């Protein structure tokens, strides 16, 4: 079998309209839900379910993009590899969730169209994940906040009536546990480290803690679907306080960031960090619409 090479298989499986084999953006054959039953679950409004998949998918996609920006900039090679792995997990979750959203909303849009061709106001991620990367302490704190909350959410979504959402959660809860442990270990190391690392961790906590509340603030879609995130607040805060105590870091006494006219990331109202992030994410696809290679 030495003459067998997987790219031969790809070439056979993935001819584009021009007959050329492709295996990157625009391949068309790498449907992350290939052959998974696409029927919407009975008794749930598909539009609401699509909107919810978009919220969770956009959280994962945007944080993945922020993590990928650490490549070539991380303090050590091991951390760079770790952050890339975390980003890859989140990107995989995002691909399934965005594909699911496109199946359910009746628009026929695939993951690429949703990721590359929506405007900022159509993105539904919480604002925490879009903020500038800042220093490594901010990277660690954002991961800690997000992973703790998302693991807790996924745990509750396992067994959801939508089989795709349930499956994303069932695998995601195990992946997010690794993310949280990574962030918790660095939180302890930096918080209980040098004077400088402690100072930076406190600054990062003060900067990011106000954005945590949005993860617990229910959107009307979540209330209609029976997935109100507000009960996550108590267990997530308890877990975070445990890590911070171990790290000799005080729980920040800061108020949550308010919505703008009652609207936030879940409504498409983002911070000024979002535009440049999307520009980078979308530039190649938009510069060469429909490009394949």
Partner 1 sequence: MSTVLERAREVAAAVPDPELPMLTLADLGVLADVEETDGRVTAWLTPTYSGCPAVAEMAADVARRLRAAGFAEVEVRLRIDPPWSSDRISAEGRRKLAEAGIAPPAPGGAPGGLLRLGPTRRAVACPQCGSEDTEELSRFGSTACKSLWRCRSCREPFDRIKEI
Token pair in block for residue 98: 């965005």
Q: In terms of CB distance, is 11 or 269 closer to partner 1?
A: 11
Q: In terms of CB distance, is 127 or 179 closer to partner 1?
A: 179
**Least distance in angstroms from the C-beta of 10 to partner 1:** 5
What phi and psi, each to the nearest 5 degrees, are found at residue 269? -100, 115
**Least distance in angstroms from the C-beta of 35 to partner 1:** 3
Cβ partners under 8 Å of residue 145, min gap 6: 128, 208, 209, 211, 212, 215, 240
**Least distance in angstroms from the C-beta of 184 to partner 1:** 6
**Least distance in angstroms from the C-beta of 293 to partner 1:** 15
**C-alpha to C-alpha distances, 227 to 56, 99, 135, 266, nearest whole angstrom:** 12, 20, 34, 14
Angle at 137 between CA 237 and CA 235, to 5 degrees: 10
Q: In terms of CB distance, is 78 or 253 closer to partner 1?
A: 78
Q: In terms of CB distance, is 141 or 221 closer to partner 1?
A: 141
**Least distance in angstroms from the C-beta of 13 to partner 1:** 4
Spatial contact of 210 and 257, defined as CB atoms under 8 Å apart: yes
Between CA 140 and CA 185 the distance in angstroms is: 9
Between CA 124 and CA 266 the distance in angstroms is: 4
SS3 36: coil
Angle at 61 between CA 115 and CA 65, to 5 degrees: 100
**Least distance in angstroms from the C-beta of 258 to partner 1:** 29
**Least distance in angstroms from the C-beta of 172 to partner 1:** 6
**In this structure, how many other beta carbons lie within 10 angstroms of the beta carbon of residue 285?**
17
List residues binding partner 1 (CB under 8 A): 4, 6, 8-10, 12-14, 23, 27, 29-30, 32-36, 78, 81-82, 84-86, 88-93, 95-96, 151-152, 163-164, 166-168, 170-172, 174-175, 177-178, 181-182, 184-185, 188, 235, 239, 242-243, 246
Q: Which helix (H) or strand (E) holds 5?
A: none
Q: Which helix (H) or strand (E) holds 169?
A: helix 163-191
Between CA 174 and CA 168 the distance in angstroms is: 10
137, 70, 31, 46: CA torsion to nearest 10:
40
Q: In terms of CB distance, is 138 or 148 closer to partner 1?
A: 148
Angle at 55 between CA 95 and CA 64, to 5 degrees: 50
**Least distance in angstroms from the C-beta of 60 to partner 1:** 9
């Amino acid at each position: 079998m030495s003459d067998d090479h997987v790219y031969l298989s790809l070439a056979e499986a993935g001819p584009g309209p021009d007959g050329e084999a492709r295996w990157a953006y625009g391949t068309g054959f790498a449907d992350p839900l290939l052959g998974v039953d696409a029927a919407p679950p009975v008794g749930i409004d598909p539009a609401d379910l699509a909107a919810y998949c978009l919220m969770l998918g956009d959280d994962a996609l945007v944080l993945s993009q922020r993590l990928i920006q650490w490549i070539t900039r991380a303090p050590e090679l091991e951390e760079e590899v770790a952050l890339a792995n975390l980003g890859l997990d989140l990107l995989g979750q995002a691909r399934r969730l965005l594909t699911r959203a496109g199946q359910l909303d009746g628009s026929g849009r695939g993951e690429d169209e949703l990721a590359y061709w929506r405007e900022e106001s159509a993105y539904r991620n919480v604002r925490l994940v879009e903020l500038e990367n800042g220093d490594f302490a901010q990277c660690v704190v954002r991961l800690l906040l997000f992973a703790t909350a998302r693991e807790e959410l996924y745990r509750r979504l396992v067994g959801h009536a939508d089989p795709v959402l349930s499956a994303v959660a069932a695998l995601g809860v195990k992946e997010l546990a690794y993310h949280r442990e990574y962030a918790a270990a660095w939180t302890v190391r930096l918080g209980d480290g040098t004077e400088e690392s402690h100072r930076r961790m406190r600054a990062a906590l003060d900067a990011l803690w106000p954005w945590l509340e949005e993860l617990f603030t229910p959107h009307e879609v979540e209330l209609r679907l029976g997935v109100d995130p507000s009960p996550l607040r108590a267990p997530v805060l308890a877990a975070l306080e445990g890590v911070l105590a171990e790290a000799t870091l005080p729980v920040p006494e800061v108020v949550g960031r308010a919505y703008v006219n009652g609207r936030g990331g879940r409504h498409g109202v983002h911070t000024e960090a979002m535009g440049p992030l999307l520009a980078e994410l979308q530039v190649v696809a938009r510069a060469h619409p429909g490009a394949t290679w």
